[in-house]
Amino acid sequence: MMNQAQTILRAAEEAMGVPAAKAEVHALHNAVGEAVCREILPRWTQCRRAHLENRRVCYFSMEFLMGRAVYNNLYCLGLLKDMEQAFADAGTSLSVFEEIEDAALGNGGLGRLAACFLDSAATLSLPVDGYGIRYKYGLFKQGFADGRQTETGDDWSRFGDPWSIRCEADAVEICYQGQKVRAVPYDMPVIGYAGEGRQPHIGTLRLWQAEPLQAFDFDRFNAQDYLAASQETIAAEDISRCLYPNDDTRAGKALRLKQQYFFCAASLADCLRKHKAQFGTLDSLPEHLAVQLNDTHPVISIPELIRLLKLEGYTFEQALDMAKRIFSYTNHTIMQEALEKWDCDLVEELLPEIYAVILQISEQFLAELYAKDIAPEQIAAMRIVKNGQVHMANLAMYAGVYVNGVAAIHTELLKTTVLKEWYALAPQKFQNKTNGITQRRWLGVCNPELTTLMTELSGSQDFLTDLTKLSALSHYADDTAVMEKFRAVKQTKKQQLAAFIAKTEGVQIDPNTCFDIQIKRLHEYKRQLLNAFSILWIYFGIKDGTIRDFTPTTFLFGAKSAPGYRRAKAIIKYINEIAKLVDSDPDVKGLMQVHFVTNYNVSYAEKLVSACDISEQISTAGTEASGTGNMKMMLNGAVTLGTLDGANIEIVDAAGAENNYIFGATVEELEQLENYCSRAVLAKDPRIARVVKTLIDGTVSDGGSGEFRELYFALLDGASWHQPDHYYLLLDLPSYAETKLRALADYRDSAAFSAKQWRNACAAGPFSSDRTIAQYAAECWHISAV
């Protein structure tokens, strides 16, 4: 009698008409995915019904960085091992699906967090569904040409997308001034981890694809105006063509605003339609619906809901009251430039009805403030419409039930900096929800070797649904035999990563070295440039003999820069030039190597986090809202080399400062810093000068573009939009380099260092997204398991 995995594979082979061993890999993946979806459809339908019958949450996000679905879905269904065996019995291997593209519908922490949250909500059987955009090309596929980032379209679904179901009957018409498009939903199952003997709970991620009302104008084509015949199709499909189009022109800004309104309007129309079908009236909408706005991108939902409710016969006051009981807002940054503001004339031009509602909301809010005799300067800070712009964070603060930060320090900074006027006015709105990660993907799937060891030691896999149970294993850090097994696991993961890099990029790295890894979105505040400076600090120290007995180390970077972010792209070029310098120098051969991995994505991250020895989390104190890469590497047994920023603080509290490596100025120290002069720092420390001047002295070359020189003068003289060295790289560089050297020296004592790594993994319990989502459910959304 066949087991479920064998049944699924047999169905896939019958659908293809060829045996699995002879099937083309994409055809096999499509057939397997479709067979799995057929198997789970009855349960999925049951869970959908339960969501609609109860109070539910709709999670609105511009990004859902889901990654490759097949392994995670099979794992959560408890079918991964059986499917591996079924494939082996059929004369092939499940590893062939490594060729399948990631669904790269995000750009880092924001989108990956949203994916983890849906996973946790499904695992906890909570009625939570996601809403976003089905981008045709996702972010982009990254390459390097002469060390510079190149971008090409990432057509992730060109061979098919078996994990999504098109729902034509639920399409919505979206209206802009002068343009109408169709929003067509594709539903993706989000399979919760069930464990043995339990049916999985299955949530839904509904992604909207923009399509024209009329795909092809035959009359224009017949008149030989070929481009005009498809003009409506092009204009509509541009809306969901790619994530975060460059917006340094008005056209780019207009497209971004269109994207945001597109998915918010479609999602709210869907929510209202389903609610009316279930309950017959919208009067009870706030009792049955909570909408979480993931950053400011979906905040346009607030005036859109009010507009829709007014069409249903509610007054503005009634609609506003309902909105103020439905929406909550997650803030992801304290940086003013990242808190979205839309020019009023652009909003009015594209969305005149929405702009009219925004003005109504703004006037209502101002009337309330003046009636309370709020100080004029406080009112000015909180105005929704001011200086010709709509301030989306202020709109979310006024019309939302709650606002949450994503780490303890981040939430406190919101209260004392960018949202301090709001905290003074409405402190009850503020909550903290420290981010988390799903241990199913970021341990169970990506590191089965470590999962097996932890299972043997604990006697169960309960930690896959309650990560705090790992704390009971912490004492094994003192067990010599267990630590030998742990080091063997780590070595296996490093060998696997090295083999993958060799196969995909043609670069050989040494798995017997320490792996020092920084993987995250490329941004100045994340300070990849500081990491590069520290590598040169070490390089010059080895060359001149001031650094002796250096621990052989491979420094790995993974990051994508926004296509229009010239300074970030210059940093990528600089790191790649340093890699060439180090690799070509026989004096450091075998001691250090630098490599910037190509096209960093979720699947690449799974390999990197499990192989990491030292996790680089080096943002300027007070700038990183939380971070989740730090949690992934911690869970897989890495020590953190970082500042007291974001969730690093909570990681150190959980795992112990003695098991991590902290450096740099704190938030409090930076606040008290007076008359900081980066030129004085450079002049007084020749070690800093030697490193920083490589940007202009020819040690490495930018090919005459001047981009390295621009980095140099930004650090020393600033620019029109920022002070010199506004992320304090030169201030923190000596402390950072010395702390890094200490960590690398400690790595030589493998027993003591692996004990630190193990204690970090066992202390990762608080950083499960299960904990985060349980807190949201109880404290913010007020929902229960179904």
| CB neighbours of residue 511 within 10 Å | 17
Torsion on CA atoms 98, 99, 101, 102, rounded to nearest 10 = 10
Q: Tell me, what DSSP letter sits at residue 717?
A: T
Q: Which two tokens stand for residue 530?
A: 């500081």
Q: Which two tokens stand for residue 41?
A: 């459809």
| CB neighbours of residue 459 within 10 Å | 7
d(CA 245, CA 254): 10
d(CA 177, CA 348): 9
61: Cβ contacts below 8 Å, ≥ 6 apart: 110, 111, 114, 130, 131, 132, 294, 295, 297, 298
Buried b (16+ CB within 10 A) or exposed e, 211-224: bbeeeebeebeeee
378: Cβ contacts below 8 Å, ≥ 6 apart: 369, 421, 424, 425
The DSSP element (H or E) to which 422 belongs, if any, is helix 420-425
Q: Residue 675 phi/psi, 5° resolution?
A: 55, 45
Is residue 105 within 8 A of residue 207, CB to CB? The reply is yes
d(CA 691, CA 735): 14
d(CA 486, CA 502): 24
Q: Tell me, what DSSP letter sits at residue 263?
A: H
Signed CA dihedral, 71, 74, 80, 86: sign only: negative
Residue 566 amino acid letter:
R
Closest CA to 304 of 356, 339, 251: 356
- 351 to 260, 295, 393, 543: CA distances (angstroms): 12, 21, 19, 61
d(CA 24, CA 30): 10
The DSSP element (H or E) to which 538 belongs, if any, is helix 528-544
70: Cβ contacts below 8 Å, ≥ 6 apart: 29, 32, 33, 97, 100, 163
**Enzyme catalytic residues:** 332, 520-521, 526, 628, 632
Angle between helices 352-371 and 301-311 (to 10 degrees): 100
| Residue tagged 């060729």 (tokens) | 99
Q: Which two tokens stand for residue 674?
A: 């007076």
Is residue 733 within 8 A of residue 537, CB to CB? The reply is yes
Is residue 578 within 8 A of residue 471, CB to CB? The reply is no
Q: Residue 686 phi/psi, 5° resolution?
A: -65, -25
692: Cβ contacts below 8 Å, ≥ 6 apart: 533, 682, 712, 715, 730
| Residue tagged 């491979």 (tokens) | 554
| Residue tagged 């490093």 (tokens) | 494
Q: Which two tokens stand for residue 218?
A: 């035959």
* Largest distance between two CA atoms of the chain: 81
What are residue 435's DSSP bridge partners? none
Tell me how many helices (H) and strands (E) the chain has. 33, 23
d(CA 558, CA 556): 7
